[in-house]
Amino acid sequence: GKKNPHDIVLGFVIEGSGTVNGLPANAEDIFAFEPGESVEIKGHLKLMKISAK
């Protein structure tokens, strides 16, 4: 399907700590990604992704 340029994926760090795409990540942090963007997670953290319109 066509990608809407306003679509975004939010990543909520549920627990743990580490890095997301090289940025420090801790519980309750929120990251924003482009749809289809590769996400590199290092460390021990749980990331929950939510598509936002």
Q: Where are the domains of the chain?
A: 8-52
Predicted confidence pLDDT, tens digits, the chain (53 residues):
566 667 899 999 999 999 999 999 999 999 999 988 999 999 999 999 998 77
Cα 3-52-27 angle, rounded to 5 deg: 130
pTM to 2 decimals?
Answer: 0.77
Residue 5 pLDDT: 67
Query: Among 31, 34, 3, which Cα is nearest to 45's?
Result: 31
